[in-house]
């Protein structure tokens, strides 16, 4: 699938920058005539992923690609191994954290598909796919 448009945004982690991520997602969604419900699903998926890795220091990168049949959103870099295990991205399952959200179940309900990509060290990226139309 060929990307029509791609926007990459690198921001410091923190709740203060979440509105900017929403702005970019909303602008891209508007270009693709994404329904309000689908946009809400994508924003909730992004918010939930970022909330599950709060201790991470450094920047977060969001790459949004507008493709013929939908949106592809890649978020990096994360280090929460418990979240990675819940996404099926780890062969060893760490001890569950108290009140840990099962991110795999949540993302399956909000997006059409997702994949976990290993990066250097113990870090990883998450790519979401949301079909439009």
Q: What gap in Å lies between CA 13 and CA 15, rounded to an integer?
A: 7
Q: What gap in Å lies between CA 97 and CA 52, rounded to an integer?
A: 11
Tally of domains in the chain: 1
CATH number at residue 61: 3.30.565.10
When the pLDDT of each residue in the chain is averaged and rounded to a whole number, the result is 84
pLDDT in the model for residue 34: 84
Q: Which domain holds residue 44?
A: 3-131
- At 41, list the tokens: 């699903």
Q: What gap in Å lies between CA 122 and CA 131, rounded to an integer?
A: 30
pLDDT classification of 3: cutoffs 50, 70, 90: low
Give the predicted TM-score (pTM) of the model.
0.85
Longest dimension (CA), the chain: 42
CA 19 to centroid of chain Cα atoms? 15
pLDDT tens by residue, 6-47: 899 999 887 778 888 889 988 888 888 888 999 999 999 999
Residues in Cβ contact with 80 at an 8 Å cutoff, skipping those fewer than 6 apart: 52, 53, 55, 56
- At 104, list the tokens: 């795999």
């Amino acid at each position: 699938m060929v990307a029509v448009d791609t926007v990459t945004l690198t921001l410091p982690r923190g709740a203060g920058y979440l509105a900017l991520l929403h702005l970019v997602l909303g602008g891209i969604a508007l270009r693709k005539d994404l329904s309000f419900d689908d946009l809400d699903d994508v924003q909730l998926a992004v918010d939930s992923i970022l909330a599950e890795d709060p201790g991470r220091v450094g920047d977060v990168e969001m790459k949004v690609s507008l493709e013929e049949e939908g949106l592809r959103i890649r978020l990096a870099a994360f280090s929460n191994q418990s979240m990675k295990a819940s996404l099926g991205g780890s062969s060893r399952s760490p001890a569950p954290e108290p009140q840990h959200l099962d991110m795999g179940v949540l993302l399956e309900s909000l997006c059409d598909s997702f994949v976990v990509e290993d990066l250097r060290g113990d870090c990883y990226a998450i790519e979401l796919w949301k079909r439009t139309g």
